Amino acid sequence: MTFKVYHSNGNPDYLMLFDFDETYYPHELKGWQLEDLYELEEYLERILHKKNIRIGWVTGSSLADIHNKMRAARMNYLPHFIASNLGTELWEINPKGEFYQNQEWRKRIKRSGFSHRVVEDFINDLRLIYGIQLQKQTQFGQQSFKMNYYYFIEDSARVKYDLDTIKQLARNSGINFNINRCNSLAGDPINAFDVDFIPQNTGKRAVVYFVMKQYRISVENTFAFGDSGNDVEMLKAVKHGYLLKNATEEAKQLHDTITADPYAKGIQNVCRIYF
């Protein structure tokens, strides 16, 4: 299946960022969700001929997972760039649909000193010294610069202490992290937290700032859409950051600008206000 790439007028005036899973892409693939998604795709393609907008997906998924999901949903369009694996990879896509890694971003990652050994030592310390167990997310595998774990809630009285301990020790070890409540609609287990470890100066918020600077886009002209706790830092980094109506309860407690409609319909209705 061949995908088209959204139209580009050259130097962008606006930046529009989307989380992928359960924001742009609905995992349940219901008929109404797909109809709304295809309508959103055509709407975005139309306005891109009139407005200079750079569109990107900023996601925890790998490039391979994204391609599989696009095929499953029979999606039509690729964005101008994809920040995959929680922004540890930044792929730019030319009009022919060819992918190129952003070399400046790649240099930043390599300079970070991040390694699997450092994270594995950290995980062992959590277990042996603090009694905190993290379980590898084996269904996704461990990526070069992103390591995925689950924290399962066994004693609700310990959750805050354990998560605060993980955050503080990760900071002390020079490891960046993402921790948010799992979303079963995205294929995660219930009663667990998603715990990801990534290099310093990466992640969704770092991607926003990097791309704004690269394309010289004013913060006033930045938009982002998400559905979970790991999107909130991205939403707060832009001028117009929206959680979708279908967002997790955890996310809604952290960010209060929420669309009136779920998924693609929520995105399109917000875009129509501004474009």
Q: Are residues 127 and 80 in the same domain?
A: no
Task: Give the CATH number for residue 144.
Answer: 3.30.70.1410
The Cα 89–Cα 46 span in angstroms is 28
| Residue among 9, 45, 21, 16 nearest 239 (CA) | 16
Q: Are residues 103 and 208 in the same domain?
A: yes
Q: Which residues does the annotation mark as catalytic?
A: 19
Q: Are residues 66 and 163 in the same domain?
A: no
| pLDDT score at 1 | 72
Q: Are residues 215 and 104 in the same domain?
A: yes
Divide the 275 residues of the chain into consecutive groups of 10 and give the mean pLDDT of each group: 90 97 97 99 96 97 95 98 96 96 94 90 96 84 83 93 96 93 87 95 96 97 97 98 97 97 98 97
| pLDDT score at 72 | 97
Q: Are residues 78 and 178 in the same domain?
A: no
| pLDDT score at 62 | 93
Q: Are residues 53 and 151 in the same domain?
A: no
Where in the sequence is the domain holding 86, given as residue range(s)?
Answer: 4-110+202-274
> Residue 5, SS3?
strand
| pLDDT score at 142 | 63
Q: Are residues 161 and 226 in the same domain?
A: no
- The helix or strand, by DSSP H or E, that contains position 55, with its residue range, turns out to be strand 53-58
Q: Are residues 58 and 182 in the same domain?
A: no
| pLDDT score at 96 | 95
| Residue among 122, 84, 120, 114 nearest 200 (CA) | 114
- Residues ≥6 apart with Cβ < 8 Å to 163: 151, 179, 193
Chosen domain end from 181, 198, 215? 198
Q: Are residues 10 and 98 in the same domain?
A: yes
In this prediction the pTM is 0.94
| Residue among 199, 63, 185 nearest 119 (CA) | 199
Q: Measured in whole angstroms, how far is the alpha carbon of residue 150 from the centre of its chain?
A: 17
Q: The tokens 């005036």 sit on which residue?
A: 13
Domain count, the chain: 2
| pLDDT score at 141 | 56
Q: Are residues 131 and 191 in the same domain?
A: yes
Chosen domain end from 164, 198, 232? 198
The Cα 258–Cα 19 span in angstroms is 15
First to last CA, the chain: 31
* 3 state SS for 154-219: CCHHHHHHHHHHHHHHHHHCCCEEEEEECCHHHCCCCCEEEEEEECCCCCHHHHHHHHHHHHCCCH
The Cα 83–Cα 127 span in angstroms is 31
Task: Give the CATH number for residue 235.
Answer: 3.40.50.1000
The Cα 191–Cα 200 span in angstroms is 28
